[in-house]
Amino acid sequence: MDRRESLKSMILGSMAVGLTLESCVTETAPEVIEDKIWKYTYGRTPKEAAFDEDLLLDQFFEDQELQIIKTLANLILPPNEQGTIEQAGVVEFIEFMAKDVPEFQVKIRGGLMWMNGYCNTHYQATFVNCTEVQQKELLDKMAFPDMEAEEQVQEVQFFSLMRNLVLTGYFTSEVGIKELDYKGNMPNVWDGVPQDVLEAHGMSYDAEWLAKCLDPDTIGDMAQWDNEGNLIS
């Protein structure tokens, strides 16, 4: 059974004991629930699950807005062999966050309109219909904060928000985590910083300190102490 299958069976298994996400909204077609909701399997309280289900079944951005977000996201982080905006689910993530953090709504919707307004004025086309050269010309006006200013102008703030959401959406995705090369989130035994890393940083472990540290070979043994609190196993 692959991971996705086993997760699904775990959820199906949970139906037997009567707690299921399906109970929250009954009118939804099963394939929609499968697609939009059942892929999320982390522990939720029933109230949280119902809230998330509402958000997942709702749509905030119009299709044309999602199109601009997609175009913009692909300019902020162009596809390469490591991963793409689409693989990372960045547009869906931004759509969700706009519902989860209502303060984002006007900022993003307004920012997208502002970009279209700019493009209409300067290029007689909406943002998605501009050439990449024109799109980048606009981005150059938005992407660099004025380091001397106390407060950034709207378009810089908007772009900064979008850049943050695009990057965090990407680097919390499966492809993004792989690209970042995060190695954890799995059972292992911590036995200190690898020797070559220590050397590269001019560091070493102090022998006296090491004597207080765990030995991976005896981690499964039952702990025993003498009366003074010295570990003797």
Partner 1 sequence: MQIIESQKIYDVIIVGSGAGGGMATKVLADAGLKVAVMEAGPFFDPANPEQRTQLKWPYESPRRGAGTQRDFGEFDAAYGGWNIEGEPYNNIGDTKFDWFRSRMLGGRTNHWGRISLRFGPNDFKAKDRDGLGDNWPIGYEDVKPYYDKVDKLIGVFGSNEKRYNDPDGFFLPAPKPRLHELYYIKGAKKSNVDVIPSRLSILTKRINNDRGVCFFCGQCNRSCSVYADFSSGSCLIFPAQKNGGQVDLFVNSMVSEVTIDEHGKANGVKYINKEDRQQYTLKSKIVVLAASACSSARILLNSKSEKHPNGLGNSSGLIGKYLHDSTGTDRAIFVPELMNRKRYNEDGVGGLHVYSPWWLDNKKLDFPRGYHIEVWGGLGMPGYGTGFNPNDLNKHLGLTVGGYGNGLREDVKKFYGSVLGMSGRGESIARKENYCEIDPTTVDEFGIPVLRFNYSWSDFERKQAKHMHQTFEEIGHNMGGIVLGDAPGKDKDYGLLNPGRIIHEVGTTRMGSDPKTSVVNEFERLHDVDNVFVVDAGPFVSQADKNPTWTILALAWRTSDFIIEELKKQNL
Token pair recorded at residue 135: 């799109």
- Residues numbered 20 to 49 that lie near partner 1 (CB under 8 A) are 39-43, 45, 48
Task: Tell me if 10 contacts partner 1 by CB under 8 A.
Answer: yes
Task: Tell me if 58 contacts partner 1 by CB under 8 A.
Answer: no
CB of 218 to partner 1, least distance (A): 7
CB of 173 to partner 1, least distance (A): 5
Query: Which residue type occupies 189?
Result: V
Q: Site map for partner 1, 158-177, x if CB under 8 A?
A: --x--xx--xxxxxxxx-xx
| DSSP track, 201-212 | TT----HHHHTT
Between CA 207 and CA 99 the distance in angstroms is 53
CB of 187 to partner 1, least distance (A): 4
Judged by DSSP in three states, 82 sits in coil
Q: Are 80 and 172 in contact (CB under 8 A)?
A: no
How far apart, in Å, are the Cα atoms of 98 and each of 5, 59, 66? 30, 10, 12
Binder of partner 1 out of 16, 133, 203, 232 (CB under 8 A): 203
- Residues numbered 69 to 128 that lie near partner 1 (CB under 8 A) are 75-78, 80, 82, 89, 92-93, 96-97, 100-101
Binder of partner 1 out of 31, 188, 217, 232 (CB under 8 A): 188
Q: Are 28 and 57 in contact (CB under 8 A)?
A: yes
Token pair recorded at residue 136: 């980048």
Stretch that binds partner 1, among 22-30, 105-113, 120-128, 138-146 (CB under 8 A): 138-146
Task: Tell me if 18 contacts partner 1 by CB under 8 A.
Answer: no
Across the strands, what pairs with 225?
231
Task: Tell me if 190 contacts partner 1 by CB under 8 A.
Answer: yes
Binder of partner 1 out of 5, 133, 194, 232 (CB under 8 A): 194
How far apart, in Å, are the Cα atoms of 35 and each of 31, 42, 122? 6, 16, 41
Task: Tell me if 179 contacts partner 1 by CB under 8 A.
Answer: yes
